[in-house]
Amino acid sequence: MIQRSISILKNMQHSSGLMSASHKNVKTGYNAAWLRDNVYEAMGFEAVKKHREVKKIYRALLDILLKHEYKIDHAIREKPDARHKYIHARYDPATGNEIWEEWGNKQNDAIGAILFKIGDLEEKGIKILRNHHDKRIIQKLVYYLRSIEYWHDEDSGMWEENEEIHASSVGACAAGLKKIGKVLDIEVPKWMIDRGMNTLNVLLPRESATKETDLSLLSLIYPYNIVDESQKKMILSNVENMLVRKRGVIRYTGDVYYNKTGEKGKEAEWTFGFPWLSKIYKEMKKPAKHAYYMRKTIACFNKKKELPELYYAGSRKHNENSPLGWAQAMYLVMMR
């Protein structure tokens, strides 16, 4: 199943280096490339030491940012006052062009994720930056986060929905700034990190004003490791007690995405929640919990040995987005 997951991920990668969110011909729009999904999909390749594929993904992401540098420059000069002025979330994986439609395009966590993982990979000796152009655009991402005032900017978050201040977004940006400033010769004012951490400490253990807990908060534990032990325990307790279901983890209580009735208790069950929890418990050196969520992950594979995006509440039926690259990657992260 490890080799199958590697093969699935390879089949999602385009010649540009970018990854589709699901298979290339899916009709749901998941044939597009999301900045965030590419970061998490690359983590799967990293886990199995496919460093060539990892470099290809991040250099493609840098190429996208360089292609849209004019937009970043404008946002640095003048704080964006409309969604379309933010760095876009989705791109055509062949051309790197923005896929434009009305969308939750304010997704600050994706920028934090890119900064964090590029810094993390460079720290591990996996060289991502090619030249001064790459370094320049990384520095501009720091200035961009300063301009949008990420520490209290209302964004659409990991799930691309209603705009509010999300702990997972603020934490991703703070972690990204902390990591990139530590590893590379990039100017990162300490006050920017401090403001993010102050906001995070006020918000936690909530995800936002409207969400008591959320699957996205797991990112603050892994990969970002930006929370203290008390916060970590509270996040895990809330997620496990409120969100874990038989075939996945719901994103949050009352989630209407792929919820046929819109009722609480009928939320879709996301498969990547299980390997995410398993990896966290592996890092925490809790083998019993690691193995428990590993078994639950393996039980989520469908007949094609794929991990779909989600299962409908309390059922064996999954949606069309199968396989989901993010889920296959988290399986590999869990296993290595």
Nearest Cα neighbor of 124 from 206, 228, 214, 47 is 47
> What confidence score (pLDDT) does residue 261 get?
83
Count CA atoms within 13 Å of residue 312 on its CB side: 12
Report how far residue 306's alpha carbon sits from residue 328's, in angstroms, rounded to the nearest whole number. 7
Angle at 117 between CA 10 and CA 159, to 5 degrees: 75
Per the CB < 8 A criterion, the answer to whether 168 and 109 are in contact is yes
| Those residues with Cβ within 8 angstroms of residue 257's Cβ, 6 or more apart along the chain or in another chain | 159, 251, 268
- Greatest Cα-to-Cα distance within the chain, rounded to the nearest angstrom: 52
Instruction: Report the distance separating Cα 234 and Cα 63, nearest Å.
Output: 39
Q: How far apart are the first and last CA of the chain?
A: 13
Q: What is the pLDDT of residue 272?
A: 98
CB 100 within 8 A of CB 92: no
Identify the pLDDT of residue 103.
Answer: 76
Mark the ranges of the chain whose per-residue pLDDT is less than 70.
none
pLDDT at residue 139 in the model = 98
Q: What are the chain's domains?
A: 2-241 (1.50.10.10)
Residues 6+ apart with CB under 8 A from 119: 176, 179, 180, 181, 182, 183, 184
CA 18 to CA 90: how far, in whole Å? 11
Q: How far apart are CA 156 and CA 109, in angstroms?
A: 9
Sign, Cα dihedral of 37, 39, 42, 43:
negative
Q: For 286-330, what is each residue's pLDDT tens digit?
A: 999 999 999 999 999 999 999 999 999 999 999 999 999 999 999
At 88 the pLDDT is 95
Cα dihedral across residues 71, 77, 81, 87: positive or negative: positive
- Cβ proximity of 305 and 323 under 8 Å: no
How many Cα atoms are found within 13 Å in the side-chain-facing hemisphere of 287?
0
pLDDT at 260: 82
